[in-house]
Chains A and B, each alone.
Chain A
Amino acid sequence: MSAEATNAPAPATLPPAGPAPQAQSRKRRSIFVRRPFFTVALVIAAAYLLAAAFAPHVAPYDPVLQSMDAMMQPPSGAHPLGTDSYGQDILSRVIFGARYALVIGIFSVLIGAAGGLVIGLAAGLSGGWVEWALMRLIDSILALPSLILAVAFIAILGQGVDKVVIAVGLSMVGPFSRTVRADVMQVKVQGFVEAAHLMSIPSLQVIRRHILPNVIFPLAVQVTIRISEAILVSSSLSFLGIGVTPPTPDWGLMIAEGRDFVSFAPWMSAMPGFALALLLIALSIVGDGIREEYDPKSRRGA
């Protein structure tokens, strides 16, 4: 059932849809020169990071300050992105929203990566029926889309920022385990592990010395690539109304709140929506760039 288990020739991996990667001879030149889109995307992502870090200094208003005199105002000088149905300033909420998006995204990916590392290592190193059972477990996790899994975890955990981080993190364990296991298998083939066994070096030491270094780097690449997925899932939860609770300035929540007023105050949904979309597009370009540079055997397609 798993992607690797198919007996068919692997589907062709996806070369970049954009401009073809430059020839090897130009490898020397900096990645920023070779990939202008990547550079622009990285700058955008960095801008979000800065806005999130310095939100209180950048935002013109308190993001949860309600004002009955300024409800649903279209974008103007006083409120560059308009106000919402409680008279809260959308620009300030969008800036603070970057905080929530990035914090939730980064922490949940870290949870997913940690879980994936443990299960993936165990599956890759155990062999025999334990490996088989762990693989089926991974298949089972992968049988549920991450949003559905996150919904199920939210059902148990309840709502709130911390709950969303855990739910989204747990929902990402499956894909991480699969890639970690694949990397472990590759290291195993190279023979260090068996050699170490023969020299009766303790397993933990083998794992630390030989396996982890070969697994951690690709895992780090995966982490950066999957941050955008985590942000999308968490804002989806909020959009569904089961993620973080109002009046937290979360983009998904803001988009959902604006949905009912879309016919006469479309900016309420559109502004936080574009903030989210821009970040996701920037992160996915950054992710593609990192993947193509450091992870030549792209694992995402299969």
Chain B
Amino acid sequence: MLLVQTLGKLGQTLVVLFIVSVATFGLLKLAPGDPVQIMLGSEYSQESYESLTAEMGLDRPFLAQYADWALNFVQGDWGTSFVARTDIFTYAFKEALPVTLTLASFSLVFAVLIGVPLGVLSAVKKDTAFDAGSAVFALTGTAFPSFLLGILLIWFFGVRLGWFPVMGYVSPWEDFWTGVYHMILPGLTLSTYFIAMITRLTRATLIEVLDQPYIAAARARGEPGWRVIWVHGVRNIAMPLVTILGLQLGTLLQGTVLTETVFNLPGIGQMLTSAVLGREYMVVQAGVMMTAFLFIGVNLLVDLSYPILDPRLRDRK
């Protein structure tokens, strides 16, 4: 049963990927400027125009052109970026993506490590001053624009206090501690929204879970308070938490775009922005495709993780 479900999910995912790729390819076609004209420059004859069009396959039907492009794309042949002067695949996949992923994962770790305990505390201290304070933080945190927060953090911790570096990227995979050090401010900037969101979600779901009979039963058999909350309570909010994190991955990815610009990190965000300014549609396309792949892939993983998180789903027909 599970297998059939999984295959169905995979099928749906492939269809969505197909639509995204066709749309993205269409984007290139829609973009202003005739690629043949651009390549030929200002002086050209009708014959050379036609022969180059044929050579580039631009006289063929849309779907055939799409198939060519998709085949190249799958093989990692994404074209060349003139601004970055490199192969787009190397630029996007090997240089920009790791930066974005590092930033995103740091923020996610921050968000979970800070948001879950904060939410647990406000659920346990429901209707106290602490809870009210965390509600105000949660509301402000979800509505506050991240790029402004980033600038404020740079100003306060970077400029006034001088505690943290404000620009530049050091890969934590090469120099772990320096990398982490450089990631603290960008990570905080990006994760504030998620900390706030996770706090809110954890509080709301945990309050519901703590009302369940199995919590009273755990207390009744002598489990200490911390175990009741962390082992019996928090374990049962994992599913809504993972679901929301998966659905909010898009927000995380668009947050990285802004955070990268604030902190000058050479990730997908910077790649996209400079590509838009330099009218490099192939690069925009690559960025869009990678974002969609990430989002769809992670959500597929989220769906597939449900039976692990909730044993009741393992035996469903």
Contact = CB atoms under 8 A, between A and B. Distances in A.
Contacts of B295: 143-145
Contacts of A189: none
Interface in B266-317: 269, 272-273, 275-277, 279, 281, 284, 287-288, 291-292, 295-296, 299-300, 303, 306, 310, 313, 316
A284 B143 contact: yes
Nearest to B290: A148
A68 interface: no
Contact of A12 (B15, B155, B240, B250): B240
- Between A17, A139, A259, the greatest number of chain B beta carbons within 10 A of the residue's beta carbon is seen for A17
Interface in A146-204: 146-148, 151-152, 154-156, 158
Contact of A145 (B19, B147, B148, B251): B251
Contact of B244 (A259, A269, A301): A301
A143 to B, nearest CB: 5
A11 B243 contact: yes
A156 B145 contact: no
Contact of A266 (B144, B155, B243): B155
A76 interface: no
Contacts of B244: 11, 301
Contacts, number: 185
A263 B154 CA distance: 9
A148 B257 contact: yes
B32 interface: yes
Contacts of A148: 250, 253-254, 257, 272, 287-288, 291
A140 B272 contact: no
A20 to B, nearest CB: 8
A262 B273 contact: no
A228 B208 CA distance: 29
Contacts of B229: none
A251 to B, nearest CB: 9
A277 B27 contact: no
B23 A140 contact: yes
A236 B145 contact: yes
Contacts of B54: none
A96 interface: no
A6 interface: yes
Interface in B1-31: 5, 9, 12-13, 15-16, 19-20, 23-24, 27, 30-31
A152 B284 contact: yes
B182 interface: no
B31 to A, nearest CB: 5
Contacts of B134: 17
Given A156-B32, A258-B151, A301-B244, A277 B145 contact: yes
Interface string A264-290: 001001100110110011011100100
B114 interface: no
A156 to B, nearest CB: 5
Contacts of A48: none
Contacts of B27: 152, 155-156
Contacts of B265: none
Contacts of A273: 145, 148, 151-152
B276 A255 contact: no
Contacts of B31: 155-156
Contacts of A155: 27, 31, 275-276, 279, 281, 284
Given A136-B15, A144-B250, A8 B204 contact: no
A22 interface: no
Nearest to B253: A145
B142 interface: yes
B189 interface: no
Contacts of A270: 148, 151-152, 155
Contacts of A158: 32
A123 B100 CA distance: 35
B113 interface: no
A140 B155 CA distance: 39
A124 to B, nearest CB: 19
Nearest to B292: A143
A140 B147 contact: no
Interface of B: 5, 9, 12-13, 15-16, 19-20, 23-24, 27, 30-32, 132, 134-135, 138-140, 142-145, 147-148, 151-152, 154-155, 159, 199-201, 203-205, 207-208, 239-240, 243-244, 247, 250-251, 253-254, 257-258, 261-262, 269, 272-273, 275-277, 279, 281, 284, 287-288, 291-292, 295-296, 299-300, 303, 306, 310, 313, 316
18 contacts: A1-B12, A11-B244, A12-B205, A12-B208, A15-B204, A136-B16, A139-B12, A144-B291, A144-B295, A145-B254, A155-B275, A156-B27, A236-B258, A242-B273, A242-B277, A259-B151, A262-B159, A274-B148
Given A136-B16, A151-B257, 11 more contacts: A1-B9, A1-B300, A6-B303, A143-B20, A145-B254, A152-B284, A236-B147, A273-B148, A281-B139, A281-B143, A284-B139
